[in-house]
Chain A
Amino acid sequence: MANKISRVPVREQDPKLRATNFDEVSFGYNREEAMLEASRCLNCKKPACMTACPVSVKIPFFIQKVAEGDFKEAARIISIDSSLPAVCGRVCPQESQCEGSCVLGVKGEPVAIGKLERYVADWSRENGVKFTDKAPANGVKIAVAGSGPAGLACASDLAKMGYDVTIFEGLHKAGGVLEYGIPEFRLPKEKVVAAEVANVKALGVKIETNVVVGRTVTVDELFDQEGFKAVFIAQGAGFPKFMNIPGENLNGVVSANEFLTRNNLMQAYKADSQTPIYVGESVCVVGGGNVAMDAARTALRLGAKSVKIVYRRTEKELPARAEEVHHAKEEGVEFCFLTNPVEVTADDKGWVKGLKCEKMQLGEADASGRRSPEPTGEFIEIETNTVIMSLGTVPNPLIAATTPGLERNRKGGIDATDDGVTSRKGVFAGGDAVTGAATVILAMGAGRKAAKTIDEYIKSLK
């Protein structure tokens, strides 16, 4: 029976219309749609989706509850493994995780696990369902540096265990990339992100913004002067990379981080915001990840007439979520594949005029089976007013540099085990701060694992 129904499509804003506003693209399922889609799940004995989920959400179990219309129980089941379902349902790369392993996907379309997760999470928020069972307070102070998914997840688990947790956030608003990076049209700030942050606060976690650990206060001072017994470093990977090509410091070249931060955190898209943002008639975004898609689609919404993604490999290698690429195309973003920038050219006033690129071709597969791009010697120049560099980010060296005994790994992140243990006693780390730029779900998972490790560490001290 289940196979006869095809995947329930999710209602979305019309592409032409949504390319002019910042409202959420996807409306999500309603109750009937969710229950119908949930009924497609085969409830496999050995659920491959669960194995493919980085935090092993008990997927078939919650989906059964959705099919029955018991959304509260569905929410409880998800909450055992995930603390940010409203976020993950929206931004996880489902096609390479849970949905990518769904048996139904072999011949047809996989169950829309992400959309179901989002439905359950939105339903719980709208119906005031919370899972906030807390152990009695134990008075042990734990500090968390950074309020992205890793920091929030770690803090809420520790608070539930009874710890007295303070998150120190360098920016003026909590949420990490969820707040400054991912745009409103993918992840609503007030409705979803602020609500998640409020949930963490409701558990008793204190969030002190405007504290840059390593500058405002050092890790040593947190231990010696403020009485913290452990510190979890969840500073993310916020340091933008550039290409080091000529013309990169021209006016009109910005990092995706700058562009998105101006737009999201500083709300430059709102008429009353005081933060300026520069778009230009035509925009080239260099890179192929989620960040590049977000920057391109933001540029369209800010009024750019032409937006191109410039990527040195082919469509198949694009690291962005499939849904984002699809949405970007629908909205009118153009793609220039096998194109590698070599120089940004200038007008006589030092503003961007064009992006000179070399055409690439895919070479032989290397040992890992990946075909890397090779130069062809053929060059083109794309006319453009703006170049947005979206080449990835690396962890900020600040905390490691100001914390004696804290080693860094080869990626420049903090050297830590999967459980969050670093080279320095009492200091733990996880998320992008360790792995380099990755995903929300991995960061959240790392935060939760570290919470367990920190609990064991504190108990071992007694």
Chain B
Amino acid sequence: MYKILRKEFLNPITCLMEVEAPRVARAAKPGQFLIVRATSDGERVPLTVCDYDRDKGTVTIVIQIIGASSRIICSLEEGSCMADVVGPLGQPSEFTHQSIEQIKGERYIFIAGGLGVAPVYPQAKYLHDLGAKVDIIIGAKNSELLILKEEMAAVCDNLYICTDDGSAGEKGLVTEMLAKLVEGGEKYTQAIAIGPMIMMKFVTLTAKKYDLPLVVSLNTLMVDGTGMCGACRVTIGGKTKFACVDGPEFDAYLVDFDEAMRRQGMYRTQESERDHKCKIGIGK
């Protein structure tokens, strides 16, 4: 079970894997995620479903090496197996409940930062396949960290790229690109931003200026991913919600981003100490 059929490094720190998981592939919808355990003593790591092939019974995931667990996942070889893959989890994107007519009446703009490209892909593909108008902005630190460019180009009408250092596309931030497009006359009716929490926060501030409806996907801490632990608590419109069951996508204007960012860092000291002996946080 959960055999890795294809493994490819998209850049030195980002790995794409196509994994056998027929049940997940059959049920997955855009906007949902899954949880992976590389080995039988591994951590449960939530990852977005980047793509799924129902006939082959596979799901594609993209992992960036940021800590011990993601390093272990990325060290698994093609042909070997993951200990566990469970999903799909969370609510599918709102538009999956809408009719084709409704979808065709919208103009979508996706804003994908860093690894956020992976979850944006199946959403853009779904909408584009139905004939919707879809534009995408990808933001990355530099050209080396820019991933899935061709794939993204194939599922949208216009692809805009910006990098921090100008090594690919335009030099600048996704928020600047968004402002430029809207002020240049693009009439978007729905925006979806997925990326680092801080990016989503600033995209929200920008989108607000233009009254642009915006959805964000929150990558909180998670353990079970089914509503059992509350590790994924976020405040949405003043109310506590569980990102894993109520989300991961929420109306951006209701999200308490500062709290969400602080909560993401709850285990940071231990994560960085993990290669050392002490994993049980006594101090901070």
Interface, chain A (partner B; CB < 8 A) = 170-172, 180, 209-212, 215-217, 238-240, 242, 244, 248-249, 251-252, 254-255, 257-258, 261-262, 266-269, 271-281, 302-304, 349-351, 385, 396, 398
B27 at the interface (CB under 8 A from A): yes
**B 257-273 binary contact with A (CB < 8 Å = 1; else 0):** 00100110111001100
- For B266, list chain A residues within 8 Å (CB): 251-252, 278
Check A217–B23 contact: CB distance below 8 A: yes
The smallest C-beta distance from B71 to any residue of chain A, in angstroms, reads 10
Q: How far is the CA of A302 from the CA of B41 in the complex (A)?
A: 19
B154 at the interface (CB under 8 A from A): no
- For B72, list chain A residues within 8 Å (CB): 274
Check A280–B245 contact: CB distance below 8 A: no
Q: How far is the CA of A379 from the CA of B85 in the complex (A)?
A: 48
Check B274–A212 contact: CB distance below 8 A: no
**B 13-24 binary contact with A (CB < 8 Å = 1; else 0):** 000000000011
The smallest C-beta distance from A398 to any residue of chain B, in angstroms, reads 7
- For A209, list chain B residues within 8 Å (CB): 84, 86
Closest 6 CB pairs of A and B: A258-B229, A210-B86, A276-B267, A276-B270, A274-B43, A278-B281
B142 at the interface (CB under 8 A from A): no
Check A215–B88 contact: CB distance below 8 A: yes
Check A171–B277 contact: CB distance below 8 A: no
Check A172–B37 contact: CB distance below 8 A: yes
Q: How far is the CA of A280 from the CA of B281 in the complex (A)?
A: 6
Check B43–A240 contact: CB distance below 8 A: no
Q: How far is the CA of A251 from the CA of B24 in the complex (A)?
A: 33
Check A277–B279 contact: CB distance below 8 A: yes
Q: How far is the CA of A240 from the CA of B231 in the complex (A)?
A: 11
- For B277, list chain A residues within 8 Å (CB): 271
Q: Which of B41, B85, B228, B271 contacts A238 (CB 8 A)?
A: B228
The smallest C-beta distance from B282 to any residue of chain A, in angstroms, reads 6
Check B227–A238 contact: CB distance below 8 A: yes
- For A240, list chain B residues within 8 Å (CB): 228-230
Check A273–B27 contact: CB distance below 8 A: no
Residue of B nearest to A272 (CB): B41
Q: How far is the CA of A26 from the CA of B190 in the complex (A)?
A: 61
The smallest C-beta distance from A272 to any residue of chain B, in angstroms, reads 6
Interface size for chain B: under 10, 10 to 19, 20 to 34, or 35 or more residues?
35 or more
Q: Which of A210, A244, A274, A277 contacts B280 (CB 8 A)?
A: A277
Check B226–A212 contact: CB distance below 8 A: yes
- For A261, list chain B residues within 8 Å (CB): 223-224, 228-229
Check B84–A210 contact: CB distance below 8 A: yes
Q: How far is the CA of A254 from the CA of B89 in the complex (A)?
A: 22
Check A258–B231 contact: CB distance below 8 A: yes
- For A170, list chain B residues within 8 Å (CB): 86, 224, 226
B83 at the interface (CB under 8 A from A): yes
A interface: dominant SS: loop
Check A242–B240 contact: CB distance below 8 A: yes
Check B89–A215 contact: CB distance below 8 A: yes
Extra A-B contacts (13), CB below 8 Å, given A254-B229, A274-B72 = A172-B44, A209-B84, A210-B84, A215-B27, A240-B228, A255-B230, A257-B228, A262-B223, A268-B279, A273-B41, A276-B271, A279-B281, A349-B284
The smallest C-beta distance from A379 to any residue of chain B, in angstroms, reads 24
Check B274–A279 contact: CB distance below 8 A: no
Q: How far is the CA of A272 from the CA of B245 in the complex (A)?
A: 30
Check A172–B83 contact: CB distance below 8 A: yes
Residue of B nearest to A386 (CB): B281
- For A396, list chain B residues within 8 Å (CB): 226-228, 245
- For A303, list chain B residues within 8 Å (CB): 280, 282
Check A216–B88 contact: CB distance below 8 A: yes
Q: How far is the CA of A170 from the CA of B86 in the complex (A)?
A: 8
**B 61-92 binary contact with A (CB < 8 Å = 1; else 0):** 00000001100100000000001111111000
B57 at the interface (CB under 8 A from A): no
Check B224–A278 contact: CB distance below 8 A: no
- For A180, list chain B residues within 8 Å (CB): 228
Check B280–A279 contact: CB distance below 8 A: yes
- For A280, list chain B residues within 8 Å (CB): 281-282
Q: How far is the CA of A262 from the CA of B69 in the complex (A)?
A: 15
- For A302, list chain B residues within 8 Å (CB): 280
Known contacts A172-B37, A279-B282: A398-B226 contact under CB 8 Å: yes
- For B224, list chain A residues within 8 Å (CB): 170-171, 261
Q: How far is the CA of A18 from the CA of B176 in the complex (A)?
A: 59
- For B87, list chain A residues within 8 Å (CB): 212, 215-216
Check A248–B223 contact: CB distance below 8 A: no
- For B281, list chain A residues within 8 Å (CB): 276-280
Check B229–A257 contact: CB distance below 8 A: yes
Check B228–A269 contact: CB distance below 8 A: no
Check A350–B229 contact: CB distance below 8 A: no
Name which of B72, B87, B228, B279 has the most chain A CB atoms within 10 A of its CB.
B228
- For B230, list chain A residues within 8 Å (CB): 240, 242, 254-255, 257-258
- For A277, list chain B residues within 8 Å (CB): 270, 279-281
Check A266–B223 contact: CB distance below 8 A: yes
Q: How far is the CA of A261 from the CA of B43 in the complex (A)?
A: 12
Can you spell out 8 A-B residue pairs with CB atoms less than 8 angstroms apart?
Answer: A215-B89, A216-B88, A249-B233, A255-B230, A269-B280, A274-B72, A351-B284, A398-B245
